[in-house]
C-alpha cells in the first residue's frame, strides 16, 4: 500500500525529529552513557505514546501474559516441591528407616522450608517480609502503585518454598502480590503516570488471581473492589483484558475444569434461606475469630523474638516446626492441598477433620506466616469456612431433611461466607465461588450468606486482615487513598479561584471564541445570581465546533447539570474519591448554604498535593520510629 505524500511527509518528519533529538543530546550531553541512554529511552517512549487508551490495552495484554506464565510456573513449582518433600523423600533409596519413622520426620519438613525462607529473606532480600496484600494496598494508597521491581521474584521463591514444604498459607494471595509487582514494574519501566501505574498493578493482580483460580470475573472484581477501589471504565477495561489473558494462558497449561468438583446443589425451599442467614452470622463471627487468632500469634512471635533475641532468619523455622507438629496429625491443614475442601463440599469429610481444621487452621496459618514465612490468607479462610459450613449443614440436614440441602451445599456456602467476612469483599467472593465451582444454582444462598457474614464481621470487629496491619502503621485506606492523611486536609488548601465561567445565557459563538483563547478544557456555568448550574466539558465543545447549525444555542442548552460537587466544608479525601470514580478532571466547590460557586479543585493539583502530604507524613513517621 502506497502512502500519500502528506502521510509520508508526516512520518518522515517524526523520524527526523527523533534522530535530531538524539543528535542534539549526544552532542551536548555531559553525563554518563547510562544517563544518556535513559534520556533517549524516555524520548522513545514519548514517541510510542503508550499512555493512550488503545496502546495501553496492549501493555495490559503483556502484563496478563507475563503474570499468567508466572502463575503457571508458581502452581507447578509448589506441586513439585510438595511431591518431593512428602512423597519422593519418603521413598528415597527405598530406605526402610525413613518409611518406618516417617511420622517423626514430618514436622521437620515445614521447619526446613521455614529455614530456607528465613535465610533467603535475611541474606538475599535483606528485609523483613511484609504483609502481602496489605503492602499492595499501601503501595496503591501511598506510593502511587510503585512496588520494588525485584519483589515479584523474591515473593515467588519464598512462597513456593514455604507452601510447597507444608506451610499453612495459601498460594492465592502471593500470586496476587507477584502479579501486582509485575504490573508495577512494567509501569515503572515505561515511565507511566501514577494513575496508569496503579491500573497496571491492578492488571497484574487480577491476572494472577484469575489464573490461579480459573476465575477471570472474580479476579477483576478483586482488583477493583479490594485493591484499587476504582470502578471507572478507564481502569476497568485494561484489568478485564489482563484477567482474560491470564486465565486463557492458565487454562492452556492447567486445564479448563473448575477448581473444585462439586455436585449440583440448589435452594431446596425458601425457608432454607433462614439457615443460610444463620450460617452467615456464624461465618462472620468465625471470620473475626480467624483474624484475632492469626494476629495474636504473629504478635506473640514478635515478642519472643525480642525477648530471647532470636535471629530473624530462625523465626520461620520455629513457626514451621510448630505448624508441622500439628499438621502431622491432621494433613488437611497443609496449605498446598485442597483435598479437605473437596471432601467437605461433596459431603464426604469426617466430623473429626472438620472440627480439627475449623479450630486449628488459623493457628497453623499464624505459625507458618506470622513467624515470617510466606503465604496468603485466602485459602486458609476458605478451608475454615468449608469446615464450618460442613458441620452446620450436617446438623440442619439431620434435623430438617425435607427442607434443606445436604451438607456439601452448606460447606460451599460457608467457604464463601467466611472468606467474605475476613476480606469484607462479598461481591468478589460471590463471583469467585461461582466461577471455581461452576454452580449457578447455589449463587443465591452464597450471596445471602456472604453479605450477612460481611455485615456481622464489620459490626463485631472493624478490622479486616489488611486494615489491622495498615492501621498499626497509621494508615487508613479507602478507594485506593490513604484516608488517615487525606481526611484531615481541608478542601480550601487545594481550591483554586482561576477558572473560566459562563453565564447560562452565554451564546455558543462567544463560548467557542473563549475556547480557542484559553488552555482550559472544562468550563463552569452559573446563573444570574452566581448559583452553580453545571459544567460544559470538552465533549460538548467538540459538538459545537463540528456542527455549524448549533451556534444559535446558549450555555443553558448544553450544560451538564448532573455533576459531582464539593463544598467548602469538604475534605480532600472526598475529592480524591470523586476523581477516582468519575471521569472529571475538575470539580466545583460550592457554598454549603446557597450553592454559590466559590472555586474549583483540579485533579492533577489535588493528587500532587496529596502525594506531597503523604511523603511528609511518611517521613514524620520514620523519624518518630527512629526516636
Contacts of 475 (CB under 8 A, 6+ apart): 138, 141, 142, 482, 484
Same domain, 134 and 200: yes
155 within a domain of the structure (yes/no): yes
By the 8 A CB rule, do 588 and 597 touch? yes
Judgement on whether residues 218 and 201 belong to the same structural domain of the protein: yes
Mark whether 343 and 277 lie in a shared domain. Answer: yes
Which residues are CB-neighbours of 362 under 8 A, at least 6 positions away? 289, 290, 293, 294, 380, 384
Structural domains counted in the chain: 4
Contact 424, 459 (CB under 8 A): no
Beta strands in 74-221 (DSSP E): none
- Residue 233 makes CB contacts below 8 A (sequence gap 6+) with 583
* In-domain check, residue 627: no
Q: Is the dihedral of CA 154, 156, 161, 163 positive or negative?
A: positive
Residue 216 lies in a domain: yes
215 and 298 part of one domain: no
Q: Which residues of the chain have pLDDT under 50?
A: 1-9, 12-21, 23-30, 36, 45-51, 618-627
- The whole-number pLDDT of residue 624 equals 43
Q: Is residue 267 a part of any domain in this protein?
A: no
Contact predicate 464/226, CB 8 Å: no
Q: Is this structure's pTM higher than 0.85?
A: no
Which of 48, 68, 83 delimits the end of a domain?
48
Contact 131, 299 (CB under 8 A): no
Q: Is residue 105 part of a domain?
A: yes
Residues of the domain holding 390: 272-310+329-356+368-475
Q: For residue 619, what pLDDT is reported?
A: 41
What pLDDT, on the 0 to 100 scale, is given for residue 610?
A: 79
Contact yes or no for 207/173 (Cβ under 8 A): no
Q: Quick: pLDDT tens for 123-151.
A: 998 887 777 788 888 888 777 788 988 88
Give yes or no: residues 399 and 471 share one domain: yes
Residues 123, 214: one domain?
yes
Indicate if 65 and 190 belong to the same structural domain.
Answer: yes
| Same-domain status, 142 and 180 | yes
Residue 318 lies in a domain: no
Residues 523 and 608 placed together within one structural domain of the fold: yes
Left if phi > 0, otherwise alpha if psi is -120 to 50, otherwise beta: which for 375? left
CATH, residue 243: 1.10.3080.10
* Inter-residue contact 392 to 319 (CB < 8 Å): no
pLDDT digits (tens, 9 = 90+) for 72-125: 999 999 999 999 988 877 776 566 767 777 888 889 999 999 999 999 999 998
**The pLDDT value given to residue 139:** 82
Give the relative orientation of helices 53-83 and 151-164 as an angle to the nearest 10 degrees: 30
* pLDDT computed for residue 135 by the predictor: 84
Is 146 a member of any domain?
yes
238 and 131 within one domain: yes
Contacts of 332 (CB under 8 A, 6+ apart): 339, 340, 353, 356, 357, 383
Question: Does 323 fall in a domain?
Answer: no
Amino acid at each position: 500500500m502506497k502512502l500519500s505524500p502528506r502521510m509520508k511527509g508526516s512520518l518522515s518528519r517524526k523520524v527526523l525529529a527523533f534522530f535530531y533529538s538524539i543528535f542534539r543530546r549526544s552532542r551536548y550531553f555531559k553525563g554518563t552513557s547510562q544517563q544518556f541512554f535513559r534520556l533517549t529511552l524516555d524520548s522513545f517512549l514519548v514517541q510510542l505514546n503508550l499512555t493512550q487508551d488503545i496502546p495501553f490495552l496492549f501493555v495490559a495484554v503483556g502484563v496478563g501474559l507475563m503474570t499468567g506464565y508466572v502463575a503457571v510456573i508458581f502452581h507447578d513449582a509448589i506441586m513439585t516441591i510438595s511431591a518431593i518433600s512428602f512423597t519422593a523423600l519418603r521413598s528415597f533409596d527405598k530406605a526402610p528407616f525413613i518409611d518406618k519413622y516417617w511420622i517423626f520426620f514430618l514436622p521437620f519438613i515445614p521447619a526446613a522450608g521455614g529455614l530456607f525462607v528465613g535465610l533467603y529473606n535475611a541474606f538475599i532480600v535483606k528485609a523483613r517480609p511484609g504483609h502481602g496484600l496489605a503492602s499492595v494496598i499501601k503501595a496503591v494508597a501511598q506510593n502511587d502503585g510503585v512496588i520494588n521491581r525485584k519483589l515479584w521474584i523474591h515473593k515467588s521463591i519464598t512462597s513456593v518454598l514455604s507452601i510447597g514444604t507444608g506451610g499453612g498459607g495459601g498460594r492465592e494471595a502471593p500470586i496476587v502480590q507477584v502479579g501486582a509487582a509485575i504490573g508495577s514494574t512494567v509501569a515503572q519501566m515505561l515511565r507511566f503516570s501514577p494513575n496508569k501505574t496503579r491500573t497496571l498493578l491492578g492488571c497484574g493482580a487480577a491476572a494472577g488471581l484469575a489464573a490461579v483460580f480459573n476465575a477471570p470475573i472474580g479476579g477483576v472484581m478483586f482488583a477493583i473492589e479490594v485493591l484499587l477501589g476504582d470502578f471507572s471504565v478507564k481502569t476497568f477495561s485494561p484489568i478485564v483484558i489482563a484477567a482474560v489473558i491470564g486465565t486463557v494462558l492458565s487454562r492452556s497449561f492447567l486445564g479448563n475444569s473448575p477448581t473444585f468438583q462439586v455436585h449440583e446443589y440448589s435452594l431446596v425451599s425458601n425457608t432454607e434461606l433462614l439457615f443460610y442467614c444463620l450460617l452467615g452470622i456464624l461465618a462472620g463471627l468465625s471470620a473475626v475469630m480467624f483474624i484475632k487468632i492469626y494476629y495474636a500469634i504473629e504478635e506473640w512471635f514478635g515478642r519472643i523474638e525480642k525477648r530471647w533475641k532470636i535471629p530473624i532468619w530462625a523465626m520461620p523455622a520455629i513457626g514451621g516446626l510448630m505448624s508441622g507438629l500439628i499438621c502431622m496429625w491432621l494433613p488437611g491443614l497443609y496449605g498446598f492441598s485442597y483435598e479437605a475442601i473437596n471432601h467437605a463440599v461433596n459431603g464426604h469429610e469426617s466430623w473429626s477433620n472438620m472440627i480439627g481444621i475449623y479450630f486449628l487452621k488459623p493457628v497453623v496459618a499464624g505459625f507458618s506466616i506470622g513467624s515470617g514465612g510466606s503465604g496468603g490468607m485466602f485459602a486458609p479462610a476458605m478451608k475454615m469456612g468449608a469446615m464450618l459450613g460442613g458441620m452446620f449443614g450436617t446438623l440442619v440436614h439431620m434435623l430438617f431433611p425435607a427442607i434443606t440441602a445436604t451438607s456439601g451445599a452448606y460447606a460451599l456456602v460457608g467457604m464463601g461466607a467466611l472468606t467474605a467476612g475476613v476480606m469484607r469483599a462479598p461481591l468478589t467472593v460471590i463471583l469467585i465461588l461461582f466461577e471455581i465451582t461452576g454452580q449457578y444454582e447455589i449463587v443465591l444462598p452464597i450471596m445471602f450468606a456472604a453479605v450477612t457474614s460481611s455485615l456481622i464481621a464489620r459490626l463485631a470487629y472493624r478490622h479486616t486482615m489488611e486494615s489491622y496491619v495498615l492501621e498499626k502503621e497509621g494508615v487508613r485506606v479507602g478507594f485506593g487513598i490513604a484516608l488517615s492523611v487525606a481526611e484531615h486536609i481541608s478542601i480550601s488548601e487545594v481550591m483554586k479561584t482561576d477558572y473560566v465561567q459562563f453565564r447560562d445565557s452565554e451564546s455558543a459563538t462567544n463560548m467557542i471564541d473563549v475556547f480557542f483563547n484559553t488552555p482550559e478544557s472544562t468550563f463552569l456555568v452559573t446563573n444570574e445570581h452566581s448559583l452553580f448550574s453545571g459544567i460544559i466539558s470538552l465533549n460538548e465543545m467538540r459538538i459545537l465546533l463540528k456542527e455549524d447549525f448549533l451556534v444559535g444555542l446558549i450555555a443553558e442548552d448544553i450544560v451538564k447539570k448532573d455533576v459531582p460537587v464539593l463544598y467548602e466544608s469538604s475534605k480532600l479525601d472526598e475529592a480524591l474519591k470523586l476523581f477516582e470514580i468519575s471521569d472529571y478532571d475538575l470539580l466545583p466547590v460550592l457554598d454549603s448554604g446557597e450553592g454559590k460557586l466559590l472555586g474549583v479543585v483540579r485533579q492533577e493539583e489535588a493528587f500532587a498535593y496529596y502525594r506531597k502530604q503523604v511523603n511528609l507524613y511518611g517521613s514524620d513517621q520514620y523519624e518518630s520510629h527512629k526516636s
